[in-house]
Amino acid sequence: MSLFLGPMRHHIPGKKELSDHKDILNLLPKKEVYLPLIAGNNTNFNVLVQEGDRVKVGTKLAETASGFYIPIYSSVSGTYKGCAKRMHSSLKPQMHMIIELDGLQESVPSFEPLDYQSATWEQCVDFIKNAGIVGLGGAGFPAYIKYSKPNGIDALLINAVECEPYITADYKMIQSRVQDLVTGCLILQKMATCNVVYICIKESHPDLIDLVKKAVSSHSSLQVKPVPDVYPMGWERVLVREVLHKEYDRLPAEAGAIVSNATTAIATAQAFEKGQAIVSKMVTVSGEGVKNPMNVYVPVGTCVKEIMEACGGYTSDSVRLIAGGPMMGKTVVNELWVVDRATNAITVLPHVADDAIACLRCGKCSDHCPAGLQPVRIAQAVQANNLEEMEKRGALSCIECGLCSYNCPSHIDVTENVRKAKRVLMMKKK
Ligand code: SF4
Ligand code: SF4
């Protein structure tokens, strides 16, 4: 598959100005947080506390009982009230641990800090595994996996691109914790066993580029790499091509690269230096459907309803609430879901009536697909319930970037059709 056949990437109005220069709101939920017992598709967890137990910020509450090791730490201090099923941003009901807040926010280190400079490579990789550091770019996949076999890695790419419209959470995290970013890059560099780290920032953020350049000036291995303001520049494949001029088949490691998100690097530094797990998240609440767009810093498990109230509510009664950004996020029909470790945005857009018309066969969806697919063909296979055709057309390679829907002049939700194809094929594989 050739990567850049058509434009395959697109300049999209960023709309970052709605939130990027506003102050961050630190928000503590009024009564309870709800910590989802899910990591990727894994819902098999051992709960380590009893109902009625007092917990602090940082107390270990649960860990995966199978699959990749992922612990869950409390994001607030208070009392464990048991588990209940609630709506999750994956659009499926999931078990959540409920912690009733005491409002004190007393904390304990989740684990002993570790001096990465004197620690061995094995100790560092074990450390991020036990600390529960997950990729914070959206996937929430355990970070240690990428660093477990770093043979032949030439470069580490730190992804600070944040290419989806509206989202400025990484921007605000880097602005407020730039020294943690530097330390995190040095730790991840040690684990990647490479000589150079490129911190990739969109050229439309000159202030951030200057800030990070100053912060890394005494570390010759850390370099800031401005990248074009196009979408999906933050996708690993596009970033590796842009920065290293290399392509790969399955994983960036085939091109001698590891890609980690900038906020993952920040979380790594906080874990090593302070024994702090990922218990809070920066979340961009933005879009024309919210009265007061801004970034909120909230404990993991905070309910979206409380966040929306803090942001002034909605601009009209008819809006679309999206878990994530407008391109890759999922529309959720209520506000009962919570911020989890992978949540970086809540986007609210005015509801647009479904005015889709018949396909014009213009090919724009194929021209712009960064995965080199023909989304219209996959959509047709979905309508015909033709699994063989869905597979043949490579539906599983879709990264759900949303560009096919964005570019469709007939307003067909092509992405949703390709998502359906992926779901059906994955069910079949199971
Ligand atoms: S959503 Fe999937 S099919 Fe559509 S353009 Fe993006 S990668 Fe291609
Ligand atoms: S972009 Fe829309 S109208 Fe054009 S071929 Fe694709 S689905 Fe059809």
Confidence band of 10 (pLDDT split at 50, 70, 90): confident
Q: Examine the pLDDT at 220 and tell me if it is beyond 80.
A: yes
C-alpha torsion angle, residues 287, 288, 294, 296 (rounded to 10)? -50
pLDDT score, position 3 = 41
pLDDT band at 7; cut points 50, 70, 90: low
For residue 277 the two structure tokens come to 């797990």
| Protein residue with its CA nearest to atom 5 in ligand 1 | 369
Residues with Cβ within 8 Å of 181's Cβ and at least 6 positions away in sequence, in order, are 158, 174, 199, 212, 215, 262, 265, 266, 269
Q: Is 399 in the pocket of ligand 1 (CB under 6 A)?
A: yes
- Confidence at 277, pLDDT banded by 50, 70, 90: very high
Ligand 2, atom 6, residue with closest C-alpha: 365
H or E element: which one contains 63?
Answer: strand 60-64
Q: Spell out the domain ranges in the chain.
A: 121-274, 364-429
Atom 4, ligand 1: residue with shortest CA distance: 404
Q: The sheet that has 54-55: what strands, in order across it?
A: 32-36, 93-101, 78-87, 54-55
Ligand 1 centroid to 384 CA: how many Å? Answer: 19
Residue 382 near ligand 1, beta carbon < 6 Å: no
State the distance from the centre of ligand 2 to the C-alpha of 369, rounded, in angstroms.
12
Residue 114 has pLDDT above 60, yes or no: yes
Q: Is 421 in the pocket of ligand 1 (CB under 6 A)?
A: no
pLDDT at 137: 74
Q: What distance in angstroms lies between residue 249's CA and the mean position of ligand 2's atoms?
A: 27
Mutate to test the pocket of ligand 2, among 364, 398, 415 (most ligand atoms within 8 A of CB): 364
Which residue has 């094929």 as its token pair? 425
Cα–Cα dist 98/34, whole Å: 5
Topology adopted by domain 121-274:
Rossmann fold (3.40.50)
User: Does residue 418 have its Cβ closer than 6 Å to ligand 1?
Assistant: yes
| Contact call for residues 300 and 318 (beta carbons, < 8 A) | no
Q: Which atom of ligand 1 is nearest to the CA of 414?
A: 4
- Whether 304 shows a pLDDT value over 50: the answer reads yes
How large is the average pLDDT for residues 62-91?
A: 93
Q: pTM for the complete prediction? A: 0.90
Atom of ligand 2 nearest to the CA of 375: 6
At residue 265, the 3 state secondary structure works out as helix
Q: What distance in Å separates the CA atoms of residue 4 and residue 6, rounded to the nearest whole number?
A: 6
Nearest ligand for residue 407 CA:
2
Per residue in 246-258, pLDDT (tens digit) is 999 989 999 999 9
Is residue 8 over pLDDT 70? no
Q: Is the CB of 369 under 6 A from ligand 1?
A: yes
DSSP 103-118: S---B--SS----TTT
Tell me how far the alpha carbon of residue 371 lies from the centroid of ligand 1, in angstroms: 7
Residue of the CA atom closest to atom 6 of ligand 1: 401
Residues 91-112 pLDDT 10s = 788 999 999 999 999 999 999 9
**Is the CB of 360 within 6 Å of ligand 2?**
yes
Structural contact between residues 414 and 405, judged by C-beta atoms closer than 8 angstroms = yes
How close is the Cα of 258 to the center of ligand 1, in Å?
23
- Cα–ligand 2 centroid distance for 417 (angstroms): 12
Q: Is 215 in the pocket of ligand 1 (CB under 6 A)?
A: no
Give the C-alpha separation, 181 to 158, whole Å: 10
Ligand that comes closest to the CA of residue 373: 1
DSSP class of residue 303 equals: B
Q: Do residues 261 and 184 make contact, with C-beta atoms less than 8 angstroms apart?
A: no
